[in-house]
Structure 1
Amino acid sequence: MRSVLRFFSSIIAALLLFSACACSPEKSIQKILGGSTDSPVFLGCRSVSRDEVEFRFSCSVTVASLRFDPPLETVSVGSGEQVIVRISETLPEGSRVTADVLVEDEHGNTLQVLVPFRTRNDRIPEFLINELRTEYSKPRVEFIEIKTAAAGNMGAVRVYTASQGFETPVYEFPPVEVAADEYIVLHLRTLDPESADETGTDLALSPGNEASPNARDFWTPGAVKRLRKTDAVFFLDQDDRIIDAVLLSETADAWWAKEEMVSAAQMFADHGAWIPLDNPESTLVSPRDAVITQGATATRTVCRDETLPDRNNAADWYICATSQATPGGTNSVKRYTP
């Protein structure tokens, strides 16, 4: 009888213990071992100098293994939430590298990440957005044209549009040396498979439609729409600073209809990248402060007045007359009149 009572007592004790820990098997193990079942979370990677790369994680980690493609020799590998890796060589500006890193936290949880990044580029030239086509009519595709104000290297410069979101750039420039007063055209669709990015000295390399023999042509892959009449276009450097930006709206409404435009307008205002016309001190930028694009077509592009200094507002811009688009060349002075 006593043995039977002892048997049932042990069963009851086991059930009570299971009930106390029944929240999840993982938490039960964590309670017994005193560890954590939460793996580290990868937060990002960037080049902080010509020979240093930073990896960011949600908790302190140590690096178990690290490989680069193309192969790079490391001098030192740090630890912590921000892992700094020093490279033995000075890396080319804006080159694409892929890192394969395995990390481990203090509880033995591991995380493996395969992440591409661009090497540090501290020679990004000054440039201005100069002309935009928002409308598509095959074979004419949407484009963003910029004009350089100084020599430098375009490697790692990222291009965003609000309509495509802020998570992934529309385009990221490869390393390319440019001179002052160069025109660079980013074509926002690729219809001709022979189209090629012009990163060298041959500016007539690409055969794509509207490729200019006197300007550098670059091409985004695919044929989706990436720029609209109501949109925000901006270029970022590796420190997420706005190099230049332009705000577009098809109408002069009282307020933005889409949340991504609210976010873009506020970001531009906060960074001084776009200034309201009527109240330059205001931090609220509405559609009426944007370049009004209602008359834009596939042959009537949105142009910056190249004779004026950049003022970061809509007064710098106009819509050119019909058939006066000039991708890769000086903007036409003929203006569209509604």
Structure 2
Amino acid sequence: MKKLLFVVPIVCALFGAGCAGFSEQPIFTEIIGGEAEPVKIAKAARTEDNTVQLFFSGTAELLSAEIFIPETGETQPCNAENMDIPDGFTDSEGQSGKADTYTAVALTPTAPIGIGAPFVLRGSVSDTKHSVLDFALPFEGANTRPAKLRITEIRPLYSSKPKSEFIEFIVMESGNLAGITITNVGDKQHPHYQFPSAEVSAGETIVYHWRSVEEGICDELTAKTVSGGTQACPAARDFWGPYTSIPKRNANVILIKTRADGDIQDAILYCTEKEFAKREAAPTWNDEELVREAEAAVASGVWRGGAVLKAAVIAPITASKSLARDAKTGVNKAGSWTLRDSKQVTMGKPY
């Protein structure tokens, strides 16, 4: 019997709150059978109860499946249930097909999986040609208790030595940060940052630093963890982006979501005064994605005053200055924000 080694590219559509989920590393599988087209995973999705939905091309039969917990080395069985293919289904590559061209199965863990806890769904399926696909798909436990964050201060432009960009939050509702996403719409290469799993309490201050430019820094996953670095904040929980270089954004939309495709918790729209003056004849967002996300922020109710560029915070923002939100108003609009010079920046101090 001939064995062929395949690399199966899979894009994981993650529906559960707080899902960091799918690894970008290729999943190596062993196909046993003849020269026929082997069974493939067309799409994988994880729901809010950590059920994993697998969609296979063609007719497939599940042979085995289990949950592996890397942190403990333990395994647990999972309950399998066949699923109907929804109308309008598209696979991970955006391809659509008739329902009878796919097979779907839902695999539910039999024991609870912690928020943000890594787990691997592994198993085997066979097709009508008796080809066998062994798969191993990494996920993280869904965040069933996402904390609620409010932006309180932001320094959106870069300053060296090593005062880099930051965004400060106050925790409005206690919960877990796992998968809560900062979407930096103006960054086309790395728009999303997802918080790791960390329990936070209402009233705590959190600071996300976009760049990692010093030694000794670390994410403060617990209240007892202390990060090094001159930009670390003694009175706040510090988290650090993996970047040493990110593009300058003179006009931007920043969204805070429960997950990358989740509900919008908060937002800020801003534009430097110089950039706005350049567009005086036609002061509009110069990017369709900025337009779309600004409109989403307004539609969600987290930003008031409109989605057009002139409704953003227009100020002489520089690399040493920050925008701070008025703590006395619950309405989030351009007039709720004031410009602070370098001596007035209060990064990481209580709101």
TM-score, length basis structure 1: 0.73
Q: CA RMSD in A?
A: 2.9
Q: Distance in 1 between matches of 2:197 and 2:335?
A: 33
Match of 2:166 in 1: 143
Bigger relative contact order (CA 8 A; separation at least 6)? 2
Equivalent pairs counted in the alignment come to 283
Q: Distance in 2 between matches of 1:41 and 1:84?
A: 13
Q: Distance in 1 between matches of 2:46 and 2:164?
A: 32
Match of 2:116 in 1: 94
- Are positions 1:318 and 2:321 aligned together? no
Is 184-193 or 167-176 further displaced after alignment? 167-176
Q: Distance in 2 between matches of 1:223 and 1:68?
A: 35
Match of 1:197 in 2: 219
Q: Distance in 2 between matches of 1:169 and 1:56?
A: 27
Q: Distance in 2 between matches of 1:314 and 1:59?
A: 50
Q: Kindly indicate whether the alpha-carbon contact (under 8 Å) linking 1:48 and 1:54 is maintained by their aligned counterparts in 2.
A: no
Is 258-267 or 65-74 further displaced after alignment? 65-74
Find 2:347's aligned residue among 324, 327, 330. Answer: 327
Structure 1 SS opposite 2:167: strand
Cα offset, 1:306, TM superposition: 1.4
Structure 1: gaps of 5 or more residues: 1-35, 278-284, 332-338
Cα offset, 1:84, TM superposition: 2.3
- The residue type paired with residue 263 of structure 1 is R
Q: Distance in 2 between matches of 1:243 and 1:186?
A: 16
- Deviations along 1:79-98, one digit per CA (max 9) or x if unpaired, are 34553222122111222334
Distance 1:152-1:39 versus aligned 2 partners, 3 A rule: same
- Are positions 1:125 and 2:128 aligned together? no
Distance 1:98-1:313 versus aligned 2 partners, 3 A rule: farther
Match of 2:206 in 1: 184
Q: Distance in 1 between matches of 2:54 and 2:187?
A: 26
Give the ranges of 4+ consecutive aligned residues of structure 1 lying more than 6 Å apart after TM superposition. Answer: 107-112
Find 2:256's aligned residue among 212, 230, 235. Answer: 235
**Equivalences for 1:20-39 in 2 at 5 Å?**
37=37
- Are positions 1:304 and 2:325 aligned together? yes
Match of 1:79 in 2: 82
- Are positions 1:152 and 2:203 aligned together? no
TM-score, length basis structure 2: 0.70
Between the aligned residues of both structures, percent identity stands at 27
Cα offset, 1:169, TM superposition: 5.7
Q: Distance in 2 between matches of 1:62 and 1:292?
A: 58
Q: Distance in 1 between matches of 2:219 and 2:125?
A: 36
Q: Kindly indicate whether the alpha-carbon contact (under 8 Å) linking 1:47 and 1:118 is maintained by their aligned counterparts in 2.
A: no
Q: Distance in 2 between matches of 1:269 and 1:101?
A: 44
Structure 1 SS opposite 2:68: strand
Q: Distance in 1 between matches of 2:257 and 2:309?
A: 22
Q: Distance in 2 between matches of 1:112 and 1:240?
A: 31
Q: Kindly indicate whether the alpha-carbon contact (under 8 Å) linking 2:151 and 2:267 is maintained by their aligned counterparts in 1.
A: yes
Match of 1:45 in 2: 45
Distance 1:38-1:303 versus aligned 2 partners, 3 A rule: farther
